[in-house]
Structure formats: structure tokens, C-alpha cells
Amino acid sequence: MADKARLSLNQITTNRWSVAEAADACARHGVRSIALWRHKIEEVGLEACVRAVRDAGLHVSSVCRGGMFPAPSAKERAERIEDNFRAVDEAAALGADSLVMVVGGCGEIELGDARKMVADGIAALVPYARERGVKVGLEPLHPMYAADRSVLVTIGQALELAKAYDPSGLGVILDTFHIWWDPQVENLIEQAAGRIYGFHVSDWLVPLPDVLMGRGMMGDGVIDNRKLRTLVEKAGYGGPIEVEIFNQLIWDSDPEAVLIQIIERFEKFV
């Protein structure tokens, strides 16, 4: 059983809450870590968020998200890298374990070119992040998001991209929703040892209700979160475990009830 002390609320799961509301609820329910989203940070300002998590005694497991590097013009790509610098600044101010990268989809850009733009963006970002003490976490997304969200789709691809960098600066974020299907998942998690910056859990519902908004609460789908958690631990990761669920029904529910269920399901299925 996973130690509840490792549970982190990824605030998108309780999307109706502001940063302060989510932080307060975590404190009341004994959840020690939280992951913040940039659009939520922007709602109230960075300083207010730093205060909110400090007042609640919380650790920030990650800031979501940097990335989105591929764009048709050099100007747009430069703007996106600049925006990633701002994300690094926010992660630094919050003392987050890492800045999560959702690298961007290919859209109208040729897939190989889009992947090169991602590599270029990472190359620009990592030194900036290192100077500010921020770890950059590459999150391979499920291949069904390759066109619109992330041309980075496997752990293997993330490790290939990361290997040119020091393991203390560029690593991977492993989310069970995105990686559970991979026939190589056991070997790849083992190979990721020393570069695992974060671990996310949720579940894969059958049938999948929606491509983006159809993730399930742990225990409601087919993912063996406990097995994957054990593999990640064997590879040396002992940090926070984020519960990150994109699901309209869950977002529409009472966030307090959702948090209570997260804790129950975390202890039962993770």
C-alpha cells in the first residue's frame, strides 16, 4: 500500500477549486503535497499562491505545465520558449520538485519537424532551468495525443531525448494513464532510474468516455496502478504521487467529496 504521506493532489482533479481552496483542503485532509496549474496560478498571482501553499504547510510536487514547443514560425517558437522561461520562474518561486513538460502536438507540422522543434525547445530551456534550480520533467503522453498535445509519446522516446543532459536537470514524469499499455513498460521504467521526477496515477475506463476528459478514478478502470507504482519505486523513485484526473463528471462533482474519494482510492489501489 502506498503511504498516504506521498499523495499529492494535482489541482486539475478538483478543477472548481482555486489554488487557495485546494491548498486549504489538502491541509484539512492530511494531504501533504499539491501540484499547481499555471492558469490557476495566473488567476490570483504567483505571490498569493506561494503564500497559500506555505500557509497550508504544503510541498509543491510540480507545476503544470511547460512545453508546447512546435509552431509554424520561428517567432512563435521563440515566444513559446520565452513562456517556458516564465513557467520555470514560477516553479522556482514555488519550490516545485519539477516543471512538467507537455511538449506539444504536431498539428499541421510534419511529425519529424515537430519532434525537432521539441528537442530545440528543451535545449533552450534546460540551462535556464538549471540556473534557477528547476528540474525539467518530460511527460510522455498517450499516443492518442500525438497530433494535438504531445509528439512525445513513449518513455523510450523521452529517455532518448533526455540522455544528452545531466540526470539532475532533465528527467521524466511517468503517468500511468499514458504509459500502462506499453509492452516495454517494465524495462523502460527500469531504464529511467535516476531520471524519474514524478509519478501520476488515475485509471483507464472501458469504454473510454472521451479522448481528453475520460480519465477515471483509480480502481474504476483497467490500470494496475499498484504494480506500476512498485516498478517506479524499484527504479528509485520515492517522491510524491500525484492524482491527476481529467474527467468532466469528476470536475462537476463536489471537490471535497472528490478529495475524500481520492484518499480512499489511493490507499486501496495505489
Instruction: Enumerate binding residues for its own copies (CB under 8 A).
Output: 105-108, 110-111, 115, 142-144, 146-148, 153-154, 156-157, 160, 180-184, 204, 206-208, 211, 221-222, 224
Least separation in angstroms between CB 144 and its own copies = 4
Q: Which H or E run includes 175? A: strand 170-175
* CB contact at 8 A, 214 and 170: no
Least separation in angstroms between CB 4 and its own copies = 26
* CB contact at 8 A, 226 and 234: no
Q: Kindly tell me which of 111 and 260 has the beta carbon lying closer to its own copies.
A: 111
Q: Which H or E run includes 55? A: helix 46-55
Q: Kindly tell me which of 136 and 185 has the beta carbon lying closer to its own copies.
A: 185
The 3-state DSSP class for residue 214 equals strand
Least separation in angstroms between CB 146 and its own copies = 4
Q: How many CB atoms lie within 10 A of CB 66?
A: 30
Q: Kindly tell me which of 42 and 148 has the beta carbon lying closer to its own copies.
A: 148
Q: Kindly tell me which of 180 and 197 has the beta carbon lying closer to its own copies.
A: 180
Q: Kindly tell me which of 144 and 249 has the beta carbon lying closer to its own copies.
A: 144
Query: Of all residues in the chain, what percent are helix, strand and coil, respectively (each to 5)?
Result: 45, 20, 35
Numbers of helices and strands, H then E, in the chain? 11, 10
Least separation in angstroms between CB 183 and its own copies = 4
Least separation in angstroms between CB 58 and its own copies = 34
Is the alpha carbon torsion for 168, 174, 178, 182 positive or negative?
positive
